[in-house]
Amino acid sequence: MPRAAPSAAIDHYENFPVASWLCPPRLRPPIAAIYHFARTADDLADEGDASPDQRLADLVAYRADLHAVATGHAPSPRWAPVFAPLAVQMRAFDLPVQPLDDLLSAFEQDVRKTAVGGTYADWPELLDYCRRSANPVGRLLLHLYGVTGDEALAESDAICTALQLINFWQDLSVDIPRGRYYLPLAECAAHGIVITDAARQFAALQPDQSTTTLIAACAHHASASMQKGLKLVHRIPGRAGWELRAVVQGALRVLDQVDTLGAAVLRQRPTVGKADAPRILWRMLWM
């Protein structure tokens, strides 16, 4: 990224559509600095061939650099290109540290879960992960846009959680082979799919009626979360409000395709392309 296309809302780094031409120019530097912080941490957790222990050690060191610059100290040389500009923007915009720290907590959880083929027991556990992996991004952006208030924060959290969930359902065909299992076990069981061996059973899921209804239920959960946050587009001023509309409608278009594919998303990744742009634009105008 930086990304301008609506579909980019659910790409990698999936919850960070940033610095497009719709973004106010004065906010592009802080948004880019936050993005590079998150992107680098995500790579530490997910890319290359490092062991889980090494990844966790790197994230601990990365967090130490975050807290160093937050308290006015110099970061280590290793990630100076990330933390030097971040420190400038933290001072310029009084950026809070907690959302950045929450992101690191989520990346650490990714490492631990993937290392053992870990699963999510139920919706509360998965949503707690979203609270730390996705919601901090929205809260940081609201801070930059000067939008405050409990209602706005709750709406932002709902949208960001929806974006994260949509990314999960979009990427089932990619994540399951990589040992990342986001379908909640309790939801699986509610549809007659009892998972006791995640690596074997998730990989063996078939596009039958049980799996189709499971995917539909998960898609509905994401849609319901998104609906709770839609009023936020009217609280964000100017071009940034249109940026948010694009993000929301791009994500909902992906969710349309998840619904259409049903259990086929286990083998095929739905995407949004240029052909979807008119529909997305029309929906943006009607929000």
- The string of pLDDT tens digits covering residues 74-83 is 999 999 999 9
pLDDT at 74: 95
Domains of the chain: which residue ranges? 20-116, 119-287
- The string of pLDDT tens digits covering residues 228-239 is 999 999 998 888
CATH topology of domain 119-287: Farnesyl Diphosphate Synthase (1.10.600)
Contact 245, 287 (CB under 8 A): yes
What is the pLDDT averaged over residues 48-54?
94
Q: How far is CA 17 from the centre of its chain?
A: 10
Neighbours of 192 (CB within 10 A): 12
The span from the CA of 222 to the CA of 81, in Å, is: 36
What is the pLDDT averaged over residues 211-233?
96
Has residue 9 got a pLDDT over 60?
A: no
Say which residue, 131 or 17, is predicted with more confidence: 131
- 0.85 surpassed by pTM: yes
Q: Which long-range contacts (CB under 8 A, 24 or more apart) does 42-47 make?
A: 42/12, 42/13, 42/107, 44/107, 45/107, 45/108, 45/110, 45/111, 46/107, 46/110
The mean pLDDT of the chain is 90
Would you state the structure tokens that stand for residue 2, as one six-digit string? 């930086």
- The string of pLDDT tens digits covering residues 105-119 is 999 999 999 888 899
The span from the CA of 229 to the CA of 105, in Å, is: 24
Q: Which candidate, 92, 41, 24, 97, places its Cα nearest to that of 244?
A: 24
pLDDT at 15: 43
Has residue 244 got a pLDDT over 60?
A: yes
pLDDT at 18: 41
What is the pLDDT averaged over residues 190-198?
95
Has residue 19 got a pLDDT over 70?
A: no
Has residue 57 got a pLDDT over 70?
A: yes
The span from the CA of 86 to the CA of 120, in Å, is: 33
pLDDT at 254: 94
